[in-house]
Amino acid sequence: MPEQPRLPLDLPSTGGRRPRPGAAAAPKRRKAAAAQSPHAASPAEPELSEQPPAAPQDGQVVAEPSPAEAARGRLEEETPAEARGDAGRARRPADHAALPEVIPAAWAEGRAPVLGEGPLDAALMLVGEQPGDEEDRGGRPFIGPAGRLLDRALVEAGIDRAACYVTNAVKHFKYVQRGPRRLHQTPDAGDIAHYRPFLMREIVHVAPGLLVAMGATAAQALLGRKVGIMKLRGQVLSGPGGMPILLTVHPSFLLRLPDPEAKRAEYAHFVQDLGAALRWVPEPRPG
């Protein structure tokens, strides 16, 4: 099995501070949509020029990069070369051509990954734990019971899912077979570390204005450490390259609650958490 590329886990410390509200709502740089020939020798993303930028002339206004663009640049520098390739380009959908091939964990050998879905210039990026049974069979993220609950919550929060990029920290469904059923298994720290380079590359590629970590696995993958979701939910922390991360629960948590009253209260709290994203990136509203 090919050696797994790794990323350093020493991400920027939050220091107990929350990023400045509104910073991520700066205009995003839109990526070119021109298709690249599969026979071209150039890399999927243009390399930075080695020539120093020309000095500004007198009176010339130099545009500052947006916070999202600056974070993207910092994250590019933190990403090792082996995680920047375009291996498996011929086997990938066009939208994922610039991403490295997802190397499966040992327990997922021979199975296709469930990749992210959504605009590659999305202002809002939602990150979950892993695909479930329906997602694994359908090849798309968040199309099962938790996904349908997420769709409903996004509508109530005033967010258009079609304007968001939706993905998971772990790209394969980890399960244990019980007769005809495939029962979910929570990814462990090794699984999170294994798939983390591919998640980081997605963030570089999409460069969102705000990341939403839904659940403990997503938060650990983004922050490089465990955090208490129930204690910190609704807060915004500094994540990869300085990108802001909004913490909330995973929608499957709501589905598991046995008490109807508690389920209604937690669902309302979840909608409130998602609605807080609009203070950072107002773009993903229904058209």
- The band of 134, judged by pLDDT with boundaries at 50, 70 and 90, is very high
Lowest mean pLDDT among 36-50, 193-207, 236-250: 36-50
Output the DSSP codes for the chain: -PPPP-----PPP-TTPPPPTTGGGSPPPPPP-----TT--S-SSPPPPSSPPPPPPTTPPPPPPPHHHHHHHHHHHHS-GGGS--TTGGGS-GGGTTSPP-PPPGGGTT------BS-TT-SEEEEES---HHHHHHTSSS-SHHHHHHHHHHHHHT--GGGEEEEESS-S--EEEETTEEEE----HHHHHHHHHHHHHHHHHH--SEEEEESHHHHHHHHSS---HHHHTT-EEE-GGG-EEEEE--HHHHHH---HHHHHHHHHHHHHHHHGGGGT----S--
Of the pLDDT bands very low, low, confident and very high (cuts 50, 70, 90), residue 108 is very high
Percent of the chain with pLDDT over 70: 66
The reported pLDDT for the residue numbered 57 is 59
What's the pLDDT at 61? 57
| Average pLDDT of the chain, as a whole number | 76
Lowest mean pLDDT across 104-108, 118-122, 157-161: 118-122
The region of weakest confidence among 91-95, 161-165, 256-260, 282-286 is: 91-95
